[in-house]
Amino acid sequence: MDKTSSPAVEAAPRQFVVSDLADELIECLKYRVGKEPSVATRHDWLSAAIKVVRDRLIDRWIESTRRAYENGDKRVYYLSMEFLIGRLMRDAFSNLGMMEDMREALAAHDVDIDLIAALEPDAALGNGGLGRLAACFMESMASLDIPAHGYGIRYVHGLFRQEIHDGYQVELPETWLDHGNPWEFERREGAYEIGFGGSVRSVASQEGRGERQIWKPTERFLAVPFDTPIAGWRGKRVNSLRLWSAMPVDPILLDAFNAGDHIGALRESNKAEALTRVLYPADSHPAGQELRLRQEYFFSAASVQDIVRRHLSKYPDLHSLPDKVTIHLNDTHPAIAVAELMRLLMDVHGHGFDSAWAIAKQTFAYTNHTLLPEALESWPVPLFERLLPRHMQIIYAINAEVLLEVRSSGRFNDDEIREISLIYEGGERRVRMGNLAFVGAFSVNGVSALHTDLMKQTVFSDLHKLYPDRINNKTNGITQRRWLFQCNPRLTTLIRDTIGDRFLDDIEALSELDAYAEDHEFQQQFSAVKRANKEQLVKVVSERLGVRLDPTALFDVQIKRIHEYKRQLLNIIEAVSLYDQIRSHPERDWLPRVKFFAGKAAPSYHNAKLIIKLANDVARVINSDPSVRGLLKVVFIPNYNVSTAEIMIPAADLSEQISTAGLEASGTGNMKFALNGALTIGTLDGANVELREHVGDENIVIFGLTAQEVAQWKAQDYRPGEIIERSAELKQALEAIGTGVFSPDDPGRYGELISGIYKQDTFMVAADFDAYSSAQRHVDELWRTPARWHRMAIHNTARVGWFSSDRTIRQYASEIWRVPV
């Protein structure tokens, strides 16, 4: 989606002579892109603009790296299977304070910065919240001057592009590298060999002390790093995001080629390419495929080798590793790194098991992101053994060590011991990656206060009993540079004009806005900003979907991955019920409302895809029914990604955060909306609990069962059918959907979806419906009194500075990583 121009927030006063910058663009276009201005395309200009800003970053990058090396600073390595970074150009311009200079320099060549910015691909190397968190963290670590490296995979195809055909999600390949990637530096010389398969042989160690294991893999690949500079606010520090790409060790098997096997000769090359070609599109659900385990090992092993090499370039051995390095595991996807570091320590650097284990346990930290039992990663032992035979041995050795400790403590019964074991034995034997990460890390953190408590009580209760000091909380955050300064320049300008610039460097200074919450003039300005942002979204929707919207309507927004636990279905059912009430009671004073949805469903997730179709079916019927008189509109915006979020969030009045309590670990969408002055309607789940504490109970609309109540209902005999019978509105809406009112072409389309609610209702839609519906009518009442609404919205913006990822990273730095900030 395109942005229309607004003045940028600058990290520094104007620094460049615009005519020099304009000349530099021409030089770059000519000598590095190879084009004359007269024939340059917009993509060429984009490439030149990025290269010019990248040049500015390089000096600081080299300087940051040298400083860390010379000072012997402790480094943080953030390993993540996903980095949902989105577009980077505005980030870099804005953090270096050269946005307006660049705008003018490009304008001098008749190039519109907003048009080329819209051409930058939205790098979607992630599925949702987990990947976006990694991206916000990279930006905050650079802004807080922490020597950090991100490590991940350079997927050729990021998350699929979503189109909606006849209301259904269609997945198309994402091709973000089509025009090359002007940000990255390929570093062939920094490649490592990564093996799979083969066997392990024991040999007598040279020192004559016992045996040493030698793993001889049968398959080998090269991991080639590609580096992207990540600039912090005001260009303080530039860190690297290092993404690994697989390449063949032998690009062509010449023997095979010469023997006439021309296709077989390229086999290695194809196999390597396949390894890092695609991101698995399942969110909060393990793919369980061999290729996925290969991807996990591939990037973890390359990263650990790189970390060990860098350490040994300065220090004599690896005993000092824990003092100089923390390797942070973003969920269990890189948990195999624990076994890989053990392997390097024992098999390559001659440590015994005890020494290696002592070092590893002090080096890793792990963040858990989900409690959904189906989302916890585990791998079948036979598969693991075949791909990573040496790592399997090491995991058995770690397990033996841990279980010995457990048994000798005498505090655990057999059931508890079974839960602690790294190997699941109740059926097909499997390696539990969560348990490996837990025992291999000195810190295990949850991502909101509630989620952290539930971790202690549920998935990790026995491990928590064994290591009671290990679990800690670090509530997630978002970077305000992207999620306020860049995505909402109008609001940022208003805030600067009102309270000055201090909040640009200390986001909690936003609290000074609290004093203006009742100020009539400020309220008018605040709502004028919201109105302008809404008009911008109205324009985009009209261009993209041909749907006309009323910018004075309440904009009610639910955008996130489509998942049953996130309960888009609850929202849609409420829309159907509202539709029914508007038609049955035309005399009432209904308030115009637009319900926006956006989000992708995993391609194999049947119900999630059906929910997308339902949203579109309901939209079609409601939007074209004249008896609704335009009072309710439903819009599904295709291809949700970071750039879409950047347009929609500043335009939202109401933020839907309505997951079944206990199932959303934190959420970060909730924080972005509140920062941009939307009110939240939500359950007491994830970070919503803390959001309420910060904005105040009177400035948020909370409804529904608590996590504890959900657990109690489930433990008892939950009968959704009886609840439905007692709720006329819910019953009416479910029957309408279930009998095909919105799908006359296929009346049975939603039969199973709806009967699922009658039968088990796993996500407690029926139990929460009436509370949700009343909460929505309460929202209507609040909206009727604009002064009150504005006051509440202003309090939201003023009080959510705490949810900055700067705060989160400060806590990680001081309480986990022990690096100075």
Ligand X SMILES: *Cc1c(COP(=O)(O)O)cnc(C)c1O
Of 101 and 122, nearer to ligand X (C-beta) is: 122
Nearer to ligand X, 22 or 658 (CB): 658
Quote the least distance from Cβ 281 to ligand X, whole Å.
13
Strand, coil or helix: 274: helix
Task: Give which of 584, 558, 573, 587 is closest to 678, Cα–Cα.
Answer: 558
Q: Alpha-carbon distance 263 to 275, whole Å?
A: 19
Q: In the complex with ligand X, which residue's Cβ is closer, 487 or 621?
A: 487
Q: From the CB of 471, what's the least distance to ligand X, in Å?
A: 22
Residue 96 and residue 235: Cα distance in Å, rounded?
5
- Which amino acid, one-letter code, is at 331? D
Q: Determine the angle formed by the axes of helices 786-799 and 520-545, rounding to 10 degrees.
A: 90
Return all residues near 215 (Cβ < 8 A) that are at least 6 apart: 195, 198, 199, 200, 343, 347, 389, 390
Catalytic residue among 672, 692, 694, 790: 672
Nearest distance in Å: CB 645, ligand X:
4
* Listed residue (284, 600, 700, 655) closest to 451, CA to CA: 284
3 a catalytic residue = no
Q: Return the number of the residue (412 or 555) whose C-beta is nearest ligand X.
A: 555
**Alpha-carbon torsion 748, 752, 753, 757, what sign?**
positive
Give the CB-nearest residue to ligand X: 669
Q: Name which of 639, 545, 547 is nearest 598 in CA terms.
A: 639
Q: How far is the CB of 777 from ligand X (least distance, A)?
A: 24
Residue 560 is among the residues annotated as catalytic for this protein: yes
On the CB side of 701, CA atoms within 13 Å amount to: 26
Per the annotation, the verdict on 668 as an active-site residue is yes
Between 562 and 619, name the residue whose CB sits nearer to ligand X: 562
Question: Which lies closer to ligand X via its Cβ, residue 162 or residue 303?
Answer: 162
Shortest Å distance, C-beta 84 to ligand X: 6
User: What SS3 state is found at 811?
Assistant: helix
Q: Which is nearer to ligand X, 788 or 807 (CB)?
A: 807
User: Closer to ligand X at the Cβ: 357 or 485?
Assistant: 485
Of 376, 465, 464, the C-alpha closest to 424 is 376
Catalytic one of 430, 560, 749, 791: 560
Asked if 545 and 634 touch (Cβ cutoff 8 Å), the reply is no
Q: Which lies closer to ligand X via its Cβ, residue 85 or residue 344?
A: 85
Provide, rounded to whole angstroms, the least separation between the CB of residue 677 and ligand X.
17
**What is the token pair recorded at 226?**
């590609």
| DSSP assignment letter at 804 | B
The catalytic position among 332, 668, 680, 797 is: 668
* Bridge partners for 278 per DSSP: 157
Task: Assess whether 530 carries a catalytic annotation.
Answer: no
Catalytic residue among 154, 285, 343, 561: 561
User: In angstroms, rounded to a whole number, what is the distance separating the alpha carbons of residues 658 and 663?
Assistant: 10
**Integer Cα distance of 575 and 595 in angstroms:** 8
Q: What is the dihedral of CA 728, 732, 734, 738, to 10 degrees?
A: 150
| Least distance to ligand X, CB of residue 429, Å | 34
CA proximity to 573, closest of 704, 431, 769: 769
Distance between CA 199 and CA 388 in Å, rounded?
A: 9
User: Which residues, 6 or more positions from 641, have their beta carbon under 8 angstroms from its beta carbon?
Assistant: 86, 122, 124, 159
Write the CA distances from 414 to 408, 434, 462, 606, 651, integer angstroms. 13, 20, 11, 38, 55
The amino acid present at 410, given as its one-letter code, is G
CB 713 to ligand X: min, Å? 24
CB 279 within 8 A of CB 155: yes
Active site residue 418: no
Q: Give the residue with the Cβ less far from ligand X, 561 or 795.
A: 561
Please report, as ranges, the residues that interact with ligand X according to CB under 6 A.
Answer: 84, 128-129, 132, 560-561, 641-642, 645, 667-669, 672
Minimum separation from the CB atom of position 129 to ligand X (A): 4
d(CA 647, CA 537): 7
- Residues with Cβ within 8 Å of 669's Cβ and at least 6 positions away in sequence, in order, are 129, 559, 560, 645, 649, 655, 657
Residue 705, both tokens: 């069962």
Helix (H) or strand (E) holding 169: strand 168-172
Buried b (16+ CB within 10 A) or exposed e, 42-71: ebbbbbbbbbbbbebbeebbeebbeebeee
Nearer to ligand X, 64 or 452 (CB): 452
**Please, what is the minimum distance in Å from the beta carbon of residue 600 to ligand X?**
9
Residue from 74, 242, 333, 369 carrying the catalytic annotation: 369
**Cβ 116 to ligand X, closest distance in Å?**
22
Find the shortest distance in angstroms from Cβ 780 to ligand X: 23
Q: How many Å apart are CA 86 and CA 132, to the nearest integer?
A: 9
Q: Which is closer to ligand X, CB of 120 or CB of 268?
A: 120
Smallest gap from Cβ 560 to ligand X, in A, equals 4
Question: With respect to ligand X, which residue has the nearer C-beta, 560 or 799?
Answer: 560
Joined together, the tokens standing for residue 572 give 């849609």
Core vs surface per residue 307-335: b (16+ CB within 10 A) or e: bbebbeeeeeebeebbebbbbbbbbbbbb
Query: Is residue 369 annotated as part of the catalytic site, yes or no?
Result: yes
Sequence-distant (≥ 6) Cβ neighbours of residue 166 within 8 angstroms: none
Q: Which residues are known to be catalytic? A: 369, 560-561, 566, 668, 672
